[in-house]
Amino acid sequence: MSRKEWPLWEVFIRGQHGLNHRHVGSLHASDAEMAIHHARDVYTRRKEGVSIWVVKSNDITASSPSEKGPLFDPAESKAYRHPTFFDIPDEVGHM
Amino acid sequence: MEKAATGAILNPVEDRFVSDDALAPAFFEWLCRMGDSALVLGHRVSEWCGHAPALEEDIAMANTALDLIGHTQMWLGLAGEVEDKGRDADALAYLRDALQFRNLLLCELPNGDMGVTIMRQFLFDARHYALLMRLTGSVSPRVAEIAAKAVKEASYHLERSSDLVVRLGDGTDESQRRMQAALGQLWPYVDEMFVADAVDEAVAKAGIAPDPSDLKAEWEETVRSVLAEAMLDMPGPAGFAQTGGVIGRHTEHLGYILAEMQFLQRAYPGARW
Amino acid sequence: MYAQMVKSEGMKSRDEMTPEEQAFQDRVDRGEKIEPKEWMPEGYRKTLIRQIGQHAHSEIVGQLPEGNWITRAPTLERKAILLAKVQDEAGHGLYLYSAAETLGVSRDELTEKLHSGAMKYSSIFNYPTLTWADMGAVGWLVDGAAIMNQVPLQRTSYGPYSRAMIRICKEESFHQRQGYAIMMKMAEGTPAQKEMAQDALNRFWYPSLMMFGPSDAESVHSAQSIAWKIKINTNDELRQKFVDQTVPQAEYLGLSIPDDNLRWNEEKGGYDFSEPNWSEFFEVIKGNGPCNRERMNARVKAWDDGAWFREGLYAHAEKAAHRRAAATTAAE
């Protein structure tokens, strides 16, 4: 890789109904301001949000799964996860 | 789908200007100017789809193009009503030839590299935003209504294009060189945005739209500050301004755009798609 | 599918697995999602990178055949819809690259592998779009086939991949319908339009069947991917489902499927149909399809021509950061 890649950002969006910002996905951008612009263009194409946060993926500190216990214990919640946002709409899979 | 529906105005507000026979010829011309510039620039920007330098940029440019196509549907839709000869926005977009097209020359210039595309967008957006802001106060309720919707999008276009001009102007040596070259190449086409003719005078007199020359100071202010921040040199007055688009005298490029854009409607007259 | 012939690992029996692998398999079997930083078998990670990467590449290359017609769309509304759809495909590529990136590979690395031919994309996008009816056929058949694969993949075991698929399926709900709507207009239109519609179906039928990949009933690679829930159905299951769904839709349009052997089989409750020409499929995958070179040249050109743009923005961000740092130091 001879050239430098735009860093990766995580995008959080607050929808119209006053809920918390939620993680919606990631994107590449040269800096924070560009990341906000890109997030607007990429993740609000269907009017999904009224407020956007972006944070460099590298700056996220995640809890990490320990070597053994939790990994083998199904009751233990997973250590690092992105929330799932959308209910699967009824029409998926149908015409 | 959502975007596509923006052209439809379901319950048009009362507007006596739409049925003003004396005003109709000038009003129609002026609406075609608004609609055709949006159409032709939207068409150009849409050519980037699938070919942009980064996925994020590909998506962003498609948004701009979609907004402009939406504006086209509204302006040309209203133009058809004012003309009152049964032509809708599609008939106007697809069945007029170059001589009847009223877009600014700036909008039909080829995309070139991203520098030319971004700079063209910026020079257009700075004027588009200033114009639409004033049109929100138009005495014609229909014009004001379209402008109110369009200006929100144009405001974002201007924010985005200004920002990119600054970043690329003050980026690498190569990006600066390309942006300065783009500016030089496009500069002869900017004056056309501020020239007023009888059509402009008629709609200005009626209180529908500002005189284009009134927009120049605001435009210059925007352009000057953005170029300064971008560390680009603002060219002096163009020695010879390229004009004629708004009266149907175009560059060679428009014919090719229309040949491509109108192909299906021309090859299969009367077919429904 | 968008991920055809993804090379996987040989299937391991439970006895051959290490304790970690057994525990991992148990989690997958229980329907738990595997998340980026958790332990996973190296084969699982590699197969996912190949599959998600190929899927992402397919979305991006898939912009091109439809992108062809954005500037020729016959009405303003059709133009907007098509542009929005092709834009969605860029978005889907972006979501999928992001999912792949959680596995420790960068988007630029994946892009370079696409350009060098080390990674593939779906064979379907190497076929040309010749008339406006192809916009209908691509939406109806190609997106229809893709959705058939993507809906079950929403349940895939890898969390980021599953979430990307959920978002994609939600957004794609309109794609197939817009294609079918174009076909309906064409099929009820002038004789010339109807001819275009039939021709588009004729050309896209077998390439669409190829999208599911060759029969994998015997494949150990598929078996491993299915055990890992990276693959949910076999290629043949999905192909059968696609044919069964599509035949009545073609009948409604008054168009005929270009297959003399097509007939309802009461016993199996599905249609019997002809296999596509698999040697053609392998040639297309190898790079010898009608548009392979054009597609790849277009992608490489976009990437190369855009280098100065990406670098310009990168350089500006660095300069601005330095200036901010200098200003902070000066203020202290």
**Smallest CA–CA separation between A72 and chain B, in Å?**
39
Q: Which of A33, A11, A9 is nearest to A85 (CA)?
A: A11
Instruction: Establish if B150 belongs to a structural domain.
Output: yes
Instruction: Establish if B273 belongs to a structural domain.
Output: no
Q: Does B55 touch chain C (CB under 8 A)?
A: yes
For chain B, the domain total comes to 1
Q: CA-CA distance, B176 to B168, in Å (whole number)?
A: 6
Residue where the block lists tokens 């209910």:
A87
Q: Does A2 touch chain C (CB under 8 A)?
A: no
CATH node for C17-288 = 1.20.1260.10
- Kindly list the residues from chain B whose CB atom is less than 8 angstroms away from the CB atom of residue A47: 2
Say whether A5 and C106 touch across the interface (CB within 8 A): yes
Say whether A27 and B54 touch across the interface (CB within 8 A): no
Are A61 and A80 contacting, i.e. CB atoms less than 8 angstroms apart? no
Q: DSSP labels for chain B?
A: -TTGGGG--SSPPP-GGGG-TTTHHHHHHHHHHHHHHHHHHHHHHHTTTTTSSSHHHHHHHHHHHHHHHHHHHHHHHHHHHHHTSS--HHHHHHS--GGG----HHHHS---SHHHHHHHHHHHHHHHHHHHHHHTT-SSHHHHHHHHHHHHHHHHHHHHHHHHHHHHHTS-HHHHHHHHHHHHHHGGGTGGGG---HHHHHHHHTTSS--GGGGHHHHHHHHHHHHHHTT-PPP-S-SS----GGGT---THHHHHHHHHTHHHHHSTT---
Residues forming beta bridges with residue C34, ordered by sequence position: C158
Q: pLDDT > 70: what percent of chain C?
A: 98
Say whether B56 and A42 touch across the interface (CB within 8 A): yes
Query: CA nearest A68 in C: which residue?
Result: C20
Q: CA-CA distance, C298 to C275, in Å (whole number)?
A: 31
Q: What is the model's pLDDT at position B245?
A: 95
The tokens for C215 are 């029969």
Q: Give the pLDDT band of residue A82 (cuts 50, 70, 90).
A: very low
The tokens for C288 are 């010898």
Instruction: Establish if B83 belongs to a structural domain.
Output: yes
Burial of B252 (0-12, 13-18, 19+ CB in 10 A): exposed
pLDDT score of A63 more than 90 = no
CATH label of the domain that carries residue B181: 1.20.1260.10
Residue where the block lists tokens 């957006």:
B125
Chains in contact with C, where contact means 3 or more Cβ–Cβ distances below 8 Å, are A, B
Query: CA nearest A76 in C: which residue?
Result: C32
**Smallest CA–CA separation between C35 and chain A, in Å?**
6
Instruction: Let me know how long chain B is.
Output: 273
Residue where the block lists tokens 């439970």:
C14
Least confident of A66-70, A89-93, B197-201, C93-97: A66-70
Q: Give the pLDDT band of residue C173 (cuts 50, 70, 90).
A: confident
Q: Which amino acid is at C153?
A: L
- Kindly list the residues from chain A whose CB atom is less than 8 angstroms away from the CB atom of residue B63: 41, 45
Instruction: Establish if B6 belongs to a structural domain.
Output: no
Instruction: Let me know how long chain A is.
Output: 95
pLDDT score of C237 more than 70 = yes
Say whether B47 and C71 touch across the interface (CB within 8 A): yes
pLDDT score of A90 more than 70 = no
Residues 6+ apart with CB under 8 A from C129: C65, C66, C68, C69, C135, C138
Give residue limits of the domains in chain A.
Answer: 3-84
Give residue limits of the domains in chain C.
Answer: 17-288, 290-331
Query: CA nearest C111 in B: which residue?
Result: B54
Q: Is the dihedral of CA C210, C212, C218, C219 positive or negative?
A: positive
Q: Chain A window 61-90: which residues touch C at a Cβ cutoff of 8 Å?
A: 62, 64-65, 71-72, 74, 78-82, 84-86, 88-89
Residues 6+ apart with CB under 8 A from B167: A30, A34, B230, C312, C313, C316, C317
Q: Give the pLDDT band of residue A50 (cuts 50, 70, 90).
A: confident
Residue where the block lists tokens 């053994």:
A68
Instruction: Establish if B9 belongs to a structural domain.
Output: no
- Choose from C21, C35, C157 for mutation: most chain A CBs within 10 A: C35
Burial of A44 (0-12, 13-18, 19+ CB in 10 A): middle
Q: Give the pLDDT band of residue A77 (cuts 50, 70, 90).
A: very low
Q: What is the model's pLDDT at position A74?
A: 40
CA dihedral of residues C177, C183, C187, C192 (deg, nearest 10): 160
Say whether C93 and B174 touch across the interface (CB within 8 A): no
- Kindly list the residues from chain B whose CB atom is less than 8 angstroms away from the CB atom of residue C86: 49-50, 62
Q: What is the model's pLDDT at position A8?
A: 96
- Kindly list the residues from chain A whose CB atom is less than 8 angstroms away from the CB atom of residue C252: none
- Kindly list the residues from chain A whose CB atom is less than 8 angstroms away from the CB atom of residue B156: 40
| Alpha-carbon separation of residue B177 from A20, B143, B160, C156 (angstroms) | 44, 40, 20, 48
Write the DSSP symbol of residue A22.
E
Q: CA-CA distance, B221 to B233, in Å (whole number)?
A: 14
- Kindly list the residues from chain C whose CB atom is less than 8 angstroms away from the CB atom of residue B80: none
Q: Which amino acid is at C237?
A: E
Q: What is the model's pLDDT at position B11?
A: 64
Say whether B59 and A37 touch across the interface (CB within 8 A): no
Q: Does C328 touch chain B (CB under 8 A)?
A: no
Q: What is the model's pLDDT at position A91?
A: 60
Say whether C87 and B261 touch across the interface (CB within 8 A): no
Under 8 Å CB pairs connecting chains A and B tally to: 28
Q: Does B160 touch chain A (CB under 8 A)?
A: yes
Residues forming beta bridges with residue A23, ordered by sequence position: A12
pLDDT score of A86 more than 50 = no
Chains in contact with B, where contact means 3 or more Cβ–Cβ distances below 8 Å, are A, C
Q: Give the pLDDT band of residue A16 (cuts 50, 70, 90).
A: confident
The tokens for A60 are 């996220």
**What pLDDT digit, counting tens, does each position of C125-164 carry?**
999 999 999 999 999 999 999 999 999 999 999 999 999 9
pLDDT score of A87 more than 80 = no
Say whether B51 and C301 touch across the interface (CB within 8 A): yes
Q: Does C91 touch chain A (CB under 8 A)?
A: yes
Say whether C37 and A92 touch across the interface (CB within 8 A): no
The tokens for A56 are 């460099």
Query: CA nearest A46 in B: which residue?
Result: B2
Mean pLDDT in chain C? 94
Query: CA nearest A33 in B: which residue?
Result: B163
CA dihedral of residues B67, B72, B75, B78 (deg, nearest 10): -120
Instruction: Enumerate chain A positions whose Cβ falls within 8 A of a Cβ in B.
Output: 6, 27-30, 33-34, 37-38, 40-42, 45-47
- Kindly list the residues from chain C whose CB atom is less than 8 angstroms away from the CB atom of residue A74: 26-27, 30, 32
**A22-28 vs C270-272, strand pairing mode:** unpaired
Q: What is the model's pLDDT at position B4?
A: 41
3-state secondary structure C61-100: HCHHHHHCCHHHCCCHHHHHHHHHHHHHHHHHHHHHHHHH
Q: Is the dihedral of CA B93, B97, B98, B100 positive or negative?
A: negative
Q: How many helices (H) and strands (E) does chain A have?
A: 2, 3
Q: Give the pLDDT band of residue A9 (cuts 50, 70, 90).
A: very high
Rounded (10°) angle between helices B55-83 and B114-135: 40
**What pLDDT digit, counting tens, does each position of C66-94 carry?**
999 999 999 999 999 999 999 999 999 99
Q: Does C321 touch chain B (CB under 8 A)?
A: no
Residue where the block lists tokens 């923005």:
C313
Q: What is the model's pLDDT at position B140?
A: 97
Between C181 and C218, residue with greater pLDDT: C181
Q: CA-CA distance, B124 to B164, in Å (whole number)?
A: 14
Closest Cβ opposite residue B271 in set C189, C306, C316: C189
Instruction: Establish if B11 belongs to a structural domain.
Output: no
Residues 6+ apart with CB under 8 A from C252: none
List, for chain B, all residue ranges whose pLDDT scores fall below the cut of 70: 1-12
pLDDT score of C272 more than 50 = yes
Q: Which uninterrupted H or E stretch holds A81?
A: none
Domain that holds residue B58: 18-267
- Choose from A5, A41, A46, A48 for mutation: most chain B CBs within 10 A: A41
Q: DSSP labels for A67-80?
A: SSHHHH-TTSPPSS
Write the DSSP symbol of residue A52.
E
Are A22 and A85 contacting, i.e. CB atoms less than 8 angstroms apart? yes
pTM of the model: 0.92
- Kindly list the residues from chain B whose CB atom is less than 8 angstroms away from the CB atom of residue A37: 60, 160, 163
Q: Which of C285, C258, C251 is nearest to C274 (CA)?
A: C258
Give the other-Cβ count within 10 Å of A58's Cβ.
10
| Alpha-carbon separation of residue C114 from C88, C98, C230, C297 (angstroms) | 20, 16, 21, 11
Q: What is the ipTM of this complex?
A: 0.94
Q: CA-CA distance, C78 to B131, in Å (whole number)?
A: 28
Architecture of domain A3-84: Roll (3.10)
